[in-house]
Structure formats: C-alpha cells, structure tokens
A and B are shown apart, each in its own frame.
Chain A
Amino acid sequence: MTDAPVLSLRDVRKSFGPVEVLHGVDLDLRAGEVLALIGENGAGKSTTMKILAGYQPATSGRILLDGEEVSFGSLHEGEEAGIVMIHQEFNLAEQLTVEQNIFLGRELHNGWFLDKARMRRLAREYLDRVNCTVHPDTRVSQLSNSDKQMVEIAKALSRDARVLIMDEPTAVLTGSETETLFEQVRAMKADGTAILFTSHKLGEVAAIADHVTVLRDGAVVHDGRAADIDEDGMATAMVGRDVSDLYPDKAGAPDDVVLRVTGLDVPGHAEGVGFELRRGEILGIAGLIGSGRTEAMEGLCGLRPARAERIEIDGAKIDIRRPSDALEHGLCYMTEDRKLRGLLLDKSMRVNLTLQSLDQFGGLMIDRAAEERALDRAIEEFDIRAGRREMRVGNLSGGNQQKLLLAKVMMSDPSILIADEPTRGIDIGTKQQIYAFLRTLAASGRAVVMISSEMQEVIGLADRVLVMRLGRVSGTLSGDEITEDAIVRLAMGVGAGDSERAA
C-alpha cells in the first residue's frame, strides 16, 4: 500500500548533552506495511524507536500522526494514540501472572470489581493467536525468554495497536518461534497495522519487510522498497565501507598446547567438555545461545560451581576452585555482559580498571597515583575515548566500555584470555580494533579463546572453532573446514541447515 503514512518523523534530531545522535531522520510508517529499520549498533535505531513511541522527546523536528503534528508528553499518550512498543529487554512485571501483565494498566472492570472471567477468556484468546501455550496464571518470572516475547506480543494485541514497534523481537526466538511471530505480524499487517521492527538477521528482513530504512551514524542512508535491495546491499549500506579487511591475518603453524581441559562438568549447563588450546592461536567457541558455552568457560575459571577431570596449564595439572585460582595461573575470563557483570557503571574508569588487580596497587592501602598512571596507559593503549576522566563509566559509549573492560582484564596480564562475546553491541570500527588486539595478543605467545554468536566473526578471526550443542562439544573445525554451513550443522545437530537459528 502506498497511501498516506500513519506515523512519520520529519527532520528529527536528538542530542544527549553536547552529542547529537540523530541528525535529521525522516521516516514513514504506513498502515498494512512492515518497515524494517536496520543499522549497526549505535546507529540510532533504538533512539528513533523510542522517539516514535513517546518514550523520549526529540530535541527538534516533528512527529506526525495521521499527518497532524503531535508531541507525546508521556509514554501513556503514545499508547493512547495506538502506538505500542515492545522492548528488547522486556517490559513485563516479573512477579505478576501472564494474564495480569497482559491487562496491566487497563484491567477490565465489572462495576467495582475486576472482570476476571472476561480477562481470562481474552488472555487465552490472545495467547492462542500467537500459538503460546503458557497458562495465563503462570508468573512471568518463570517463563523462558521466547515465551516472554510471545506474552509481549499478546499484550500488544490486547492494546489494539495501530502502530507496533518491535526492537529486535527475534533475537531470543528459535526458528519456529520466529515463524510463529512472523505469521502474527502478517496477520496484523493484513488488519491494517503499521509495523516497524529491527533485526540484525538480514535474512529475516528480506523475508518479512515491505520497506527497508537503513540508519548509519544517526542518519538515514537508504530508504526504499524491500524488493529493491538484497542482503548484500543492506550490509553495505549499514556499514558504509568495505569491511573485507575487518579481520587480521590468521596465525601460522600451531605451537605447543598451553591449556588442556578434560571432562569439565558444569551442573545444569555443560557436561564432559574437553579441549586443547595452543600457544599463539585464537580458538573460537560457537554454538546456539543456551548451548552452555558461557557457563562452561565460567565454570573453568571458578566463577560458578564446576568439576573437571583434569585441567593442565603448560603440562602441569592444576585445580581451580575460585576465580583467584584461575588468575594465579594466568587464566582470565572476560564476561559477555559488560553492563551487569563487567563494569561498575556508577564508578569512574580508574576504579573499574584496577578492581580486578588491586593487589598490584599497594598492600592494605591503595596507591592512587599508580592507579592514575595505569589509567593513562590503558587510555593510550586501548584508545578509550571518554569526555572526562572522572565520568561515570555508565555514560561511556558501548565501544569505549568494551575497551575499558578489555583493559581491565588485561591488567592481570593473563597468558590465556577467554573473551566472551568481545564485540557484542559495539560499532564496526571498535570491532576492528578489538580483533586486531586479540590477534596481537595471541601472536605475542599467549592464547585466546573467543566465544561468539556472530558467525562471521568466528569464521574471520578464529584459527580453530569448537562448536557446542546442548552442553557438549559437538565438534572442532580448523582451517578450511571453518564454514558457516559446518558450524551450523554442528550447532544444530547434524543434518540441519537453517542458518538463521545459529546466529
């Protein structure tokens, strides 16, 4: 359909402090059309969506609803106008039931009392429409992520949304769940709902979108019908430059084994994991989310309860019971979750940088001057760009946070670095820096384990790839065997070929 847009942005700008993150964005959402908003992380997708839904005001520019200029004073006004947004991090009250969540804020009444019977009937109906089998009385805290996503969509259905905005709805869904979601999206589209969604999976974008808008660095760089652009075109538009030299050259001949793990069990997550790591190499660990990759490595480093038949470093058997044991043997784990597990967002860079290695900075008392010097070196070496030295780490950009996290774990001078999703949620320039750093680290006689969900990254950077499936190692690939197809087959169990689900 090409009739008048339901919701539009005109020359919308948004600044956080002195930094402008959106530079005059134009966007049109039309009834009965699915718009895919794509772009690198940090391109401004989330901000754009929040402005559309009334979560954040624009700094300048106009929002047009049915051609009339509107300004949403609050989220509630946005919802009143029929604009519903589903967040990437869910917006559900964990301790309430599914049914209570669906009707939260607009409970149905029968006189003075809640009309429970009608709410139950409707809740069941909405859940059925998204093929979700959870009972309406289940507490949301007990649901899996994909069920939570379905409940969010059921909630959106109950709102009779005219405009539905979804921030990476498929990130936590499996292939079949994604298909269910898309069926719903098509049904809502047929009912005349305008839908905007974001995804990093370009295959999905091609499958479901009618219209594609590409954001790069806060500006629209492509806007057109989905039929007129292929996946390669989207990728090029998103990145804006040739990224073929993203990955450094791989290592040469394999060296001696520095780490040998056999029979590593992490109760509930991984069983019988064993692998070898050689000096100078980057070992990639691939697998689906939930395949136990992170848990296995955390168990290895003493961060969660685990048991191993044998762990050898440089040929000597060692015991790791707590994180300090791992660090003593030069084994250091860098978490995938920099905001919740990696950095103290309320503290300064100095405090964060030295937290893991405070022993290096004096005995009982901390040598502040030495900490400052260490920060100077880290800022220089890792190219950390912060407005002010004393600023809260939470106010740094994702890329700079990630570099600070890397600097922090490198303070303990590990001989083996286990980097979990080292480039999650950061821009491509920083990614390139981190790839180069990891390669240099490996080349300097150390070894790196990189857990990653990004297929291209594993293929591009790792010398060997270990694939995990359901808590076990399902195979190891090296050299030319490292292909997307081979990884997916191992990650999914032999025979499967649905590449979308492996990401």
Chain B
Amino acid sequence: MTSETTNSPMRRALPSMSVLGPVLALIVLVVIGASLNANFLGTANITNVLARSAFIGIIAVGMTFVITAGGLDLSVGSMAAFIAGLMILVMNAALPSLGVGVPIILLGMAVALLAGLVAGLLNGFLITTLGIEAFIVTLGSMGIYRSLVTWLADGGTLSLDFELRTFYRPVYFDGILGISWPIIVFAIVVIVGELLMSRAKFGRHCAAIGSNESVAHYSNVDVNRTRLLTYAMLGLLVGVATIMYVPRLGSASASTGLLWELEAIAAVIIGGTVLKGGFGRVWGTVIGVLILSLIDNILNLTDLVSPYLNGAIQGVIIILAVILQREAKAKG
C-alpha cells in the first residue's frame, strides 16, 4: 500500500488492492480449505462447488452489466423461481401430447428463455422508458414473481413429472469429458461476458452510462436502449440459469431462488464492480461467486465454525470488499 502514495509511475507496475484483493482472498480460501480437509481439492468437491456456483454465477454476470450501467435488479431470485415454476407447468401440461423426449425439453428451455427475456424487458421498460427508479421497480417485481410462483404452486411445491425429471436430469448431472453442463455453460457465459464488457462497444457504453449518464447522452450513446439491453440480458441469463437448475431438483416452490439476488449482487461487488456504476469487470464477478461458494463449502466440510454463520462471514467479506474499493478510489 505504501507504494501507492509515493509516486505515480510505481502504481502502474503494481496492480492496486482492488484488483489484488479478491484474487488474494480466493487464494487464501483455497489454502485454508485444502489444509482443513483432504477432500477439498478432490475432483468431486471442486465439481460440486463449481456446479453449484453456476446458477448464481450466470446471473451475476448479467448483474455485472446492470450494475455497471448504474442500475440494480432485486428481482432475479424470485424471477428464477417464477420461471422454474412456469417451465414445470408448461412441460407437465405438454407431456400428454409431446411425450417424454427431446422436443419437450426444448420446449421447456424455450419457455424459460422467453420468460426470462420478457421479464427482463419489462423491468427495463419500466426503468428506462417510464423513468422509475430501478430499486423500486425491481423491488416490486421481486414481490410479484415470488407471489406468482407461490400462487402457481398453491403454497406448496410444483414438481416435474417423474419420468420427465429422469430424462432431464443429465442436463445438470452430466457433461462432456467429466465437466458438467452447468460448468460448461457458466464458462461460456463468463467468456462472452468478459469480452463484451472489456472489449466491446456495449461494455464501454455501459461503463459510460454508469459513470455519467449525461455525458453518455451528449456523446451519442443511446442511454435508454443500452440500459434496457442490460436488463433484458440479465433476464435471459436468469432463464439460462433456471434451465440448469430445474433438472437438479425437478421442482419449484416459494423458497426456490431465495436471496439469489443478494448473492449475485454481493458477488458483483466483491469482484470489484462499483455499486453506483461506471466500472465493472466480469472476471471479478466470477471470483466473487467463487469466494462466496467456497466459504459455504468450507464451513460445510469442516466443523471449525458452524455453517449457520455462513451469512455472517459473507457479510463481513462484502463490507471488506467495499472498503477496499473506497481505498482504491481515494488514491486513484
């Protein structure tokens, strides 16, 4: 830290704490995990951690764009639950006519993607065209989707037909070359997201809007369209995550996707994206997601600290991440 204050050329040589912080935290967690439990670095555990991270991770990549462009989406958790419920209902209903097979799975996937896209566009429309604050809009839609899925399930659980579930299971549990599908899809989403954020016009426009909306407007950036696209993209990614999630449990209920929105936002912030917008990095978000998953995993594997304290530890990490961000900003 001292090198930061001395002179400016030094700063370029050393990445700042906002870059190093999350990476170091991840390494420390891996070392702690490996030293506490021999199975930690085993293929089974790593696959498990990554596959479970994939849902939040895919959503968090979309959230990175929304937050970078100065927005926020609180509705993603209940949106996922609603899409899962809808998907199960449609697939069950289509079962007599389509039978168990690839077409019905494709139908379910199409429903999930479409529902996600529409839900995202709706959030985006209310926020951009009608100019209502993102916090309010998505707080509202969060309640609406959560309530809708509870209603669809009549307060209980919506379950996919047993045969269908057996047929659909491989989408979560199988993969290519021993890497399961959720991990593959997560990796693709991350790579595309990172390119889009750091190399493409879209990412540059998102950062410009989050940094200063007026400047973006005066610089011929279509502010509303870009913002709308970030919400639509997030909705679509919630759909993608749900496609991976449904075969895991084969059911949806009022508690599906509970607090996912907060985990996704936390992962984005831990990764170094600025909460009020203007700067975002997708690879940071991935590290944020992994940090949160590893904490959970380590607490479950060891009996050092009660797993019930998971939330508290995550909370501390989030606050630390924001303090690091502020330090970086004060010096930049």
Instruction: Contact check, A351 vs B214: say whether CB atoms are below 8 A apart.
Output: no
A407–chain B nearest beta-carbon distance, Å:
13
Instruction: Contact check, A392 vs B199: say whether CB atoms are below 8 A apart.
Output: no
* CB contact list, B152-205 vs A, under 8 A: 195, 199-202, 204-205
Minimal Cβ-Cβ distance residue in B for A298: B218
Contact of B220 (CB < 8 Å), options: A324, A343, A351, A391: A324
B332: A residues at CB distance < 8 A: 346, 392
Instruction: Contact check, B8 vs A344: say whether CB atoms are below 8 A apart.
Output: no
Whether a CB of chain B sits under 8 angstroms from the CB of A477 is no
Known A355-B221, A387-B8; contact A343-B215, beta-carbon cutoff 8 A? yes
Whether a CB of chain B sits under 8 angstroms from the CB of A322 is yes
Contact of B8 (CB < 8 Å), options: A343, A345, A362, A388: A388
Instruction: Contact check, B201 vs A341: say whether CB atoms are below 8 A apart.
Output: no
How many angstroms between the C-alpha atoms of A333 and B212 in the bound complex? 18
Output the residue of A324, A333, A358 with the most chain B CB within 10 A.
A358
B57–chain A nearest beta-carbon distance, Å:
23
Interface string of A297-332 (1 = CB under 8 A from B): 000000100000000000000000011100100000
Interface string of B222-265 (1 = CB under 8 A from A): 10000000000000000000000000000000000000000000
Whether a CB of chain A sits under 8 angstroms from the CB of B61 is no
Minimal Cβ-Cβ distance residue in A for B199: A365
Whether a CB of chain A sits under 8 angstroms from the CB of B219 is yes
B292–chain A nearest beta-carbon distance, Å:
27
Q: Is the interface of A mostly helix, strand, loop or mixed?
A: loop
Whether a CB of chain B sits under 8 angstroms from the CB of A342 is yes
Instruction: Contact check, B219 vs A356: say whether CB atoms are below 8 A apart.
Output: yes
Instruction: Contact check, A327 vs B211: say whether CB atoms are below 8 A apart.
Output: no
Whether a CB of chain B sits under 8 angstroms from the CB of A114 is no
B270–chain A nearest beta-carbon distance, Å:
20
Instruction: Contact check, B278 vs A358: say whether CB atoms are below 8 A apart.
Output: no
Whether a CB of chain B sits under 8 angstroms from the CB of A364 is yes
Interface size class, chain B: 20 to 34
A346: B residues at CB distance < 8 A: 211, 278-279, 332
A-side interface residues, number (CB < 8 Å): 31
How many angstroms between the C-alpha atoms of A121 and B134 in the bound complex? 42
Instruction: Contact check, B195 vs A340: say whether CB atoms are below 8 A apart.
Output: no
Whether a CB of chain B sits under 8 angstroms from the CB of A377 is no
B212: A residues at CB distance < 8 A: 340-341, 344-345
Instruction: Contact check, A323 vs B8: say whether CB atoms are below 8 A apart.
Output: no
Known A303-B217, A341-B218, A390-B12; contact A358-B204, beta-carbon cutoff 8 A? yes
How many angstroms between the C-alpha atoms of A247 and B208 in the bound complex? 36
A451–chain B nearest beta-carbon distance, Å:
15
Output the residue of A346, A359, A388 with the most chain B CB within 10 A.
A346
How many angstroms between the C-alpha atoms of A346 and B278 in the bound complex? 8
A109: B residues at CB distance < 8 A: none
Output the residue of B211, B217, B219 with the most chain A CB within 10 A.
B219
Whether a CB of chain B sits under 8 angstroms from the CB of A193 is no
Whether a CB of chain A sits under 8 angstroms from the CB of B207 is yes
A340: B residues at CB distance < 8 A: 212, 214-215
Known A303-B217, A322-B222, A323-B217; contact A344-B201, beta-carbon cutoff 8 A? no
Can you give 20 contacting A-B residue pairs, CB < 8 Å?
A303-B218, A322-B222, A323-B217, A323-B218, A324-B222, A340-B215, A341-B212, A341-B217, A342-B218, A346-B211, A351-B204, A351-B207, A351-B208, A355-B204, A355-B208, A364-B201, A366-B201, A392-B332, A408-B219, A412-B220
Question: Which residues of chain B have a CB within 8 Å of any CB of chain A?
Answer: 8, 12, 195, 199-202, 204-205, 207-208, 211-212, 214-222, 278-279, 332
Complex A-B, nearest 5 residue pairs according to Cβ-Cβ distance, in ascending order: A356-B219, A355-B219, A323-B220, A341-B214, A344-B211
